[in-house]
Chains A and B, each alone.
Chain A
Amino acid sequence: MRILLFGSIAEKAGASVLEVEAPSVDSLRQRLIARIPGLDRMRYAIAVDRRVITEDRPLAGSEEIAVLPPFAGG
């Protein structure tokens, strides 16, 4: 599935989109940590269908998934 990356996380990954297959949010986190250098030491949130998700949940593969570094608006 297509994972959208933003800000410092896109910079670390060297890309704004990654293709990662994962059956759940927790497994996605582990696969992202393996793919993005330093992600395990960064603060970030995962958004599923444009809402930040704090708990594990299954992923069907059709969701819009994004990895978000800390917000800095305003």
Chain B
Amino acid sequence: MSSSGPHKVKDIFVEGAIDPAFIGMSIAKHASRTDIGAHEIFLGQVRADTVDGTAVVAIEFTAYREMALEAMTRIREEAFEKWPSITCLHVHHGLGVIPTGALCFMVFASAPHRKAAREAVAWIVDRIKADLPIFGREILSDSTHLWKTNL
């Protein structure tokens, strides 16, 4: 996913966890973009929360894909308006069962200078958590489950 024009809907969803090697490759692909001076990356990792003494072992993510991708397109367009110097923006979210310790979410922005990349990533992460219809079923070590919520 490289920088996009307006109104183009991109799929952000991947099946399962995000491979750290994929993130390394994503960074490497920007070597030819010598106008970039700063990369900012946020990574979400599935945390082993404890609920009444029972540990979370995985989260199963599902999404209302069409609505999520439309919301993401609006967030992307707003981000490029707010920080026009952003060179590119890559967003991925895992779906399906993702075990604790694995990566479920990546927001990666690049810009000529660090301020725009940093601000954009912080803002985009918050907007995605608030606006994208993604649901998380926390699977506990005793095989029961709870529904995760961001609020």
Contact = CB atoms under 8 A, between A and B. Distances in A.
Interface of A: 4, 6-8, 11, 43, 47, 50-51, 64, 66, 68-74
B133 to A, nearest CB: 5
B96 interface: no
B64 A68 contact: yes
Given A47-B67, A66-B67, A68-B133, A74 B62 contact: no
A72 B129 CA distance: 7
A50 B67 contact: yes
Contact of B133 (A11, A64, A71): A71
Contacts of A66: 64, 67, 133
B67 A71 contact: no
A74 B135 contact: no
Most buried by A among B64, B134, B147: B64
- Which 9 A/B pairs are nearest by Cβ-Cβ distance? A73-B134, A7-B135, A72-B136, A70-B149, A50-B67, A72-B148, A74-B129, A8-B147, A73-B132
Interface string B29-60: 00000000000000010000000000000010
Contacts of B131: 71
A2 B126 CA distance: 31
Contacts of A72: 59, 61, 134-136, 147-150
A4 B129 contact: no
